[in-house]
Amino acid sequence: MPAIKNILESVFGRPRAGMFPRCRPAGISISFDDSYVDEWYCLKDLFAEYGATVTFFVSNFDLLPEKSIEKLKILRDDGHEIAFHGLRHLSAGKFIRENSLAGYLEAEILPGIDAMARRGFPPATFSYPYGVRAPYIDDALLKYFKHVRAVACTNSKKRLSGLKQIYCKNAGGLVFAAGIDNIYGNSLEEIRDALIKTMGKKKTILLYAHRPTSEPGDYCTPVPRLQAVLEYASECGLKFLRVRDL
């Protein structure tokens, strides 16, 4: 793999003196969804290299093998947050339309909270599978979680730096993140611009991914891309925050 500084300089140019002022109250919160515990664990040393703490939103927690539980314990002990992404990764909107809000809580939320708590991972935050949400669902979930993370999507007209929802300050309750997986089409240049905007706004930007890997796939984030984001955030002087810290 080429040296990360070479990757950054080829894409962004060489940083100028004074380009990244220190002591700015700005941050970055990176999270990962689903149950790619092995792939997340492989990034353990990379996160440590940049002093980065992140949030792992885990689905199907009760089905994880014991070796995955042990890896999550190590990640937690390294300072990362182990959070909740649904017991069976159900779409909240679809399930509630076909059943009820109370049924959703009973089937998807409460058993998952219990399963995690019994293994020493009481979750403080939750992320919506598929990003499907509504205000009344937010209100119900915020009785159980400090933060609920939703998603904000880029399109042909609104790019990453223009997504106002993903820049937060003194956040409470509902927060939004933008994806950096292949499918979302957010280039390193656009991520760079968004991080610089974060500095100027003195807020925290929220980004999320699924499976960090060098394999192709829509919901995959190439490891060199993730490493470049960590490097650039570090150069910008952004503080790494878990979702629970917002």
Q: What are the tens digits of pLDDT across the range 182-210?
A: 999 999 999 999 999 999 889 999 999 99
What is the average per-residue pLDDT within 90-115?
97
- Residue pair 163/154 in contact (Cβ under 8 Å)? The answer is yes
What is the average per-residue pLDDT within 42-48?
98
Reported as a pLDDT band with limits 50, 70 and 90, residue 25 is low
Residue 207, token pair as written in the block: 């980004």
State how far the Cα of 141 lies from the Cα of 182, in Å rounded to an integer. 29
State how far the Cα of 34 lies from the Cα of 89, in Å rounded to an integer. 8
Residue 8 has pLDDT above 70, yes or no: no
Taking alpha carbons only, the member of 172, 38, 65 closest to residue 56 is 38
Bridge-based pairing state of the strands 211-212 and 239-240:
unpaired
Report residue 96: phi and psi, to 5°: -70, -35
What class has domain 4-245? alpha beta
Q: Where are the beta strands (DSSP E) in the chain?
A: 27-34, 55-58, 81-84, 125-127, 147-151, 167-168, 173-179, 204-209, 211-212, 220-221, 239-240
Taking alpha carbons only, the member of 235, 182, 243, 175 closest to residue 209 is 182
Residue 18 has pLDDT above 80, yes or no: no
∠ CA 44-36-45, rounded to 5°: 5
Domains of the chain by residue range: 4-245
State how far the Cα of 195 lies from the Cα of 236, in Å rounded to an integer. 8
State how far the Cα of 177 lies from the Cα of 127, in Å rounded to an integer. 10
Q: What are the tens digits of pLDDT across the range 150-181?
A: 999 988 888 998 999 999 987 779 999 999 99
10-14, 134-138, 165-169, range with the lowest pLDDT:
10-14
How far CA 26 is from CA of 4, 56, 79, 245, in Å, comes to 23, 21, 20, 13
pTM: 0.89
Residue 146 has pLDDT above 60, yes or no: yes
